Copies of this chain bind each other. A is one copy, B any other.
Amino acid sequence: MTEPLDVAGLQRRLTEFAAARAWQPYHTPKNLSSALSVEASELLEIFQWLTPEESARVMDDDGTAARVRDEVADVLAYLLQFCEVLGIDPLAALDAKIDRNERRFPAPE
């Protein structure tokens, strides 16, 4: 595990993980976008019956905190694999989007 902890390093680990298990045929962009959406819903499920105030305190309970971190990891894993198979740089995509949003929604003075 001497890979650096950055997006490119994690994408490499995810690619090797899937290749070692021969999972690539399942990893079409269509399937990965479904899996990403399913994992985002599993994160939402933790919050669905909570009040806004309760939702702000989910990390106070160790079990819930672990569950939240686990679902965040799953969402990021499928997002990075989706980007990998389509040759998208997610950080550059977000950087460009923030640029566009700064023009679209000018901040009040």
A contacts, CB < 8 Å to B: 1, 5-7, 10, 13-14, 17, 20-21, 26, 28-31, 33-52, 55-56, 58-59, 68-70, 72-77, 79-80, 82-83, 85-88, 90-99, 101-102, 105, 107-108
> Smallest CB–CB gap between A86 and chain B, Å?
5
Q: Decide if A47 touches B30 in the complex (CB within 8 Å).
A: yes
Residue of B nearest to A20 (CB): B107
Give the shortest distance, in Å, between A43 (CB) and chain B (any CB). Answer: 5
Asked if A5 and B92 sit within 8 Å, CB to CB, the answer is yes
Q: State whether A31 touches B49 (Cβ < 8 A).
A: yes
Main secondary structure of the interface of A (DSSP, over half): helix
Query: What residues on B are CB-neighbors of A21 within 8 Å?
Result: 105, 107-108
Partner of A47, one of B10, B33, B56: B33
Nearest CB in chain B to that of A79: its residue: B75
B29, A38: Cβ atoms closer than 8 Å: no
Q: Which of B20, B43, B94 contacts A33 (CB 8 A)?
A: B43
Q: Smallest Cβ distance from A9 to chain B, in angstroms?
A: 9
